[in-house]
Amino acid sequence: MNHLVIAPIVLPALVAPFIIMVLRYHLDLQRIFSVASSVLVLCLTLALAAQAADGTVQVYELGDWPAPFGIVLVLDRLSAMMIVLTSVLALAVVLYAIGTGWDSRGANFHALFQFQIMGILGAFMTGDAFNLFVFFEVLLIASYGLMIHAGGAKRFQAGVQYVVYNLLGSTLFLFALGTIYAVTGTLNMADLAVRVAEMSAEETALLRVGAVMLLLVFAIKAAVLPLHFWLPASYSHAPLPVAALFAIMTKVGAYSILRVYTLIFGPDVAITEGLVGDWLLPAALLTLAVGAVGVLGSREIGRLVAFGAITSMGTLLISIALFTPAATSAALYYIVHSTLATALMFLIADQVMERQGGAVAAMRLMPQSGLLSVMFFVAAIALAGMPPLSGFIGKLLVMDAARDHDLVWWIWAVILIGSLVTIIGLARAGTLIFWKSHGLPDSDVDPDAVANAEDDDLLDGEATAAPAAAPVLPLVVCFALMTALVMLTVFAGPMTRYADATAAQLFTPTAYIETVLGGASK
């Protein structure tokens, strides 16, 4: 067995308690260990991706128990891509948090951060449905801590809402798993795939109930329309660098949908045929529409970006809901793009908030707004999916993949009009924040009003004045993310080829199933 497979999960799992127990009072050492761990995880995941790139599926049996009985980790092209994406984002966010000093505003940022990374990586690699639940809980419990990092009344209230909602989601997850276990007698994904394919349609009403409940759970995570309402409040009240990390958490939901509904309840499986795609597609279209309207209507920059994240989830889920190899390939390209773009936008929104408060309104001049406004412009182009950045290519791929679908006009109309509304909303916000503030003569601005606005818009408990000299590291991180988006555009060819290969691997799961269950016969 190749022990490298489990290394990216074990490493943060060891570093996090070390940070809590040994380095509690040494912020500098915490930072060094946290960055070192993130860099190492990135190296490990890149090595794993190189191993998975040729299409081999690797199975890691924990405790050397063979597959249907023990817990397994599985590394294929899809997991490899997702863990690399996670570790890139994690490194960017941890550097940003250090650069802006967010990590010093509350206790245990770095430990929670490492636990969060561990949970996300685990969720992407596990091959066992119950273990997916456990890793969900690991990443959620770390995210609760990060969500209320630095405190403040509003953040706590949003945090309670977030925790309660996710606890309900977890309970539903257990109900779904229990139902599926009661019917099939297994929770290993490969084993489930075999048993579900063997079942006849008449006997499996209960299994269909379980499949739909599972879809609901993942839809909560992925913020699909009727279940999306936790996201804007949670993300806009969370510390925004943390919200940038949360950009990958909605993708955990999308990944789970993709994994479970291609492998277990795949499009060819008789009992769940049409069960998922037919419901997910309209929901995804509505998600995109509501997200675009939300971008237009947001009055706070945090909410604006949160709704931007919902639009990108909408586009992504449209592509996933088609359940064809071409559409899945487009979805994979779009996952990488939208994660990076949303994270970049959250980081820029954080810098705007640091300088002028959260409101999208004409305000006083901001220090260093020139560079920031250029970055906002680029990030807005990326998030809305305008040319020349990778969002445009991603949307083009999604629309091209939808060409043969019955609802093709609906899909095209929603994506195009949604993009238009999103870009209008972002342009409006950008104009108000960066442009109009220059046009306001000083005499028009009542100093009291400005002072009041500052007090109101900063979240309680972090009334920091605008920094005199902006730190360089956050800008470097933003530029690095921007460069990543540009690279994704330039190397769209190799990236789509990888995505095509991944989609092909997903839609012929025999290799996956045989490798996982092959351990039993060994």
Partner 1 sequence: MEILVASAVGVLTAAGIYLILRRRSFPVILGLSLVSYAVNVFLFATGRLMTNAPAILNKYEEVAYTDPLPQALVLTAIVISFGMTAVVVMIALGAYLSSQDDRINLSDDDAKAGEDA
For partner 1, the binding residues (CB under 8 A) are: 130, 134, 137, 141, 144, 148, 151-154, 156-161, 163-164, 167-168, 170-171, 174-175, 177-179, 181-182, 185, 233, 299-300, 358-361, 453, 456-457, 460
Tell me whether the omega of the peptide bond preceding residue 17 falls within 30 degrees of 0, making it cis: no
Nearer to partner 1, 134 or 296 (CB): 134
- Per DSSP, the residues of 199-258 read S-GGG-HHHHHHHHHHHHHHHHHHT-GGG-THHHHHHHHS-HHHHHHHHHHHHHHHHHHH
Q: Minimum distance between the CB of residue 186 and partner 1, rounded to whole angstroms?
A: 9
Q: Minimum distance between the CB of residue 410 and partner 1, rounded to whole angstroms?
A: 31
Nearer to partner 1, 446 or 456 (CB): 456
Nearer to partner 1, 116 or 315 (CB): 116
CA dist 397 and 347 (Å) reads 27
- The residues facing 74 across adjacent strands are 59
Nearer to partner 1, 179 or 505 (CB): 179
Answer positive or negative: Cα dihedral of 422, 427, 430, 436: negative
CA dist 348 and 301 (Å) reads 10
Q: Percent helix, strand and coil across the chain, each rounded to 5?
A: 80, 0, 20
Q: Minimum distance between the CB of residue 168 and partner 1, rounded to whole angstroms?
A: 7
Q: Minimum distance between the CB of residue 152 and partner 1, rounded to whole angstroms?
A: 7
Q: Minimum distance between the CB of residue 359 and partner 1, rounded to whole angstroms?
A: 4
Tell me the longest C-alpha to C-alpha distance in the chain: 81
Q: What H or E segment, with its residue span, contains residue 275? A: none
Q: Minimum distance between the CB of residue 457 and partner 1, rounded to whole angstroms?
A: 7
Q: Minimum distance between the CB of residue 213 and partner 1, rounded to whole angstroms?
A: 12
Q: Minimum distance between the CB of residue 34 and partner 1, rounded to whole angstroms?
A: 22
In this structure, the number of other CB atoms found within 10 A of the CB of residue 334 comes to 28
Q: Minimum distance between the CB of residue 300 and partner 1, rounded to whole angstroms?
A: 7
Nearer to partner 1, 273 or 457 (CB): 457
* Those residues with Cβ within 8 angstroms of residue 99's Cβ, 6 or more apart along the chain or in another chain: 471, 472, 473, 474, 476, 477
- Find out whether 253 and 328 touch, Cβ atoms under 8 Å: no
Where do runs of H (alpha helix) occur along 459-509?
Answer: 472-490, 492-507
Nearer to partner 1, 233 or 399 (CB): 233
Residue where the block lists tokens 């913020």: 223
CA dist 431 and 408 (Å) reads 34
Nearer to partner 1, 397 or 433 (CB): 433
The three-class DSSP label of residue 522 is: coil
Nearer to partner 1, 143 or 328 (CB): 143
- Here the contacts of 17-23 (C-beta below 8 Å, separation 24 or greater) are 17/111, 19/108, 19/110, 19/111, 19/114, 20/108, 20/111
Q: Minimum distance between the CB of residue 133 and partner 1, rounded to whole angstroms?
A: 8
Nearer to partner 1, 62 or 486 (CB): 62
Nearer to partner 1, 45 or 179 (CB): 179
In this structure, the number of other CB atoms found within 10 A of the CB of residue 522 comes to 7
